[in-house]
Amino acid sequence: MIDTSVFNFQIAAQTARGVYPANPAYLASLTSDARIRNAPTADTLNVADGGMWTPSFKRIGKIEAGGSLVILATPNILPLLVYGGMGAISTAGGGDPRTHTITPAASSSSFPYFCVWQKIDTQWELFRDCLITEITVEVSNSDKFIRATPTFVSLQRGQKVAAPAIPATAETDAYHWLDGQGYWVIDGDFANLDHDPLPTDLDSLKTYLAAHKTRHNAHCAVASGKHHKAADAVNVLAYATPLADEAACIAALTEIKTDHNLHLADVATHYFKDPVHVLGYATPCADLAACLVACQEIRGSDNLPGDFNGHLGQQGGVQSLRFRVSSNAGIIYGQDVVPYAVQRKRGVIEGVVNVLAEDWRMYNYLLYGDPAAADGTEVSDEIRSGSLYVKFIASTSGAERSVAITLPAFDYAVESVADISGDPEGGERYMDLGGEAGGTAPIATVTCLNAVASY
């Protein structure tokens, strides 16, 4: 009996087509029973030679080797797979962690080739000159392990082989990406989000308020974007840093509340007022404890954004993410029974987050052109554009292990938003926010931090 529970998938990048590594570099953790398959197709030809039961002529006309696999997106293998799907990568940093920045390739010749080893029970197979023609990265609140689903095509016949002399080993890094530590930013200023730890005493309060001044003023300086049409040079923070004592912190929090709320109401710098993320804590703060509570209102938590991060676009209630890259590839055959080449056509990159519909702002924006549309406003016939930034941090101590997906601009797919309806049972409603990436290059960027020197 073949033991199908004993199987694995190992992979290594090639330096060029036809140049094959001796051993795999990465052991993937598979979450499905899919595999790369040899799929011969028989050609048949019926002939007339005077007999009634003459057998058809048969031959193997082509052999397709490829398939889609669902792979646990661990910190080291995820950049390799995304690089295979997008085609361009650059690495920075001389030590752990290194930053791998992956963007769409400018030409078809940039995409890397791979060797893939598969084992089921005791049998090993090798597939060479493999290309990734599509990849999807998904994660949800119900399943917090990020999964990558690459689609492979091999330009060589699969081979039965012996086990690699040096098989790849599993990653030692933790592979649980915490979506609770993720930042979901929709149509906002993700560069200036407040990631700083919330203060717990006077010293950390001084540190937090000094950092917040920098972030607030950097946000005010943004002159363009999805909700900025000009910089705000008026409502910047001016309190002295470093802060001297508790009294200085109390005065700083009073200034923060005033300038933050005035900034939200300034239609000279914003396309729309933001009446939702107004700071409401009492000023002046009575004591240190009140200051710490005020900071919680400013920053919030990862799943419940505060008023500063909420204004910058951080989104609560996100249920899932789907990021897909497809080059709409077609297989071209030559004289051999295996493909000669893969022809990549106009590609598409999509990003979609599924969000709990907590209010009507996004519905009104996409359908009526204004999140606070006035009565009598007609449905707009314009396609709205948005931006998306999502970052996940792996549950590992020490050097950072993270992945961030950035779509600076995309055209909203409005169908799911327009489909909100009532429910006699009072069930919640969700919106799919996202669409096809566009704008100026790079239209999408995936940034991964890990210890790998290069791909």
**Structure confidence at residue 116 (pLDDT):** 95
Rounded (10°) CA dihedral 345, 351, 354, 357: -110
Task: Tell whether the model's pLDDT for residue 33 goes beyond 80.
Answer: no
Report helix, strand and coil shares of the chain as percent, to nearest 5: 20, 35, 45
Helices (H), 123-271: 202-220, 246-265
Task: Tell whether the model's pLDDT for residue 196 goes beyond 90.
Answer: no
Quick one: average pLDDT of 424-450?
91
More confident residue, 15 or 140: 15
Residue identified by tokens 């690699």 is 164
**Structure confidence at residue 413 (pLDDT):** 86
Quick one: average pLDDT of 398-403?
88
Quick one: average pLDDT of 140-153?
87
Instruction: Enumerate long-range contacts of 47-50, CB under 8 Å, 24 or more apart.
Output: none
Task: Tell whether the model's pLDDT for residue 220 goes beyond 90.
Answer: yes
Residue identified by tokens 């649980």 is 176
CB atoms within 10 A of CB 437: 24
CB atoms within 10 A of CB 136: 18
pLDDT band of residue 173 (cuts 50, 70, 90) is low
267: DSSP letter: T
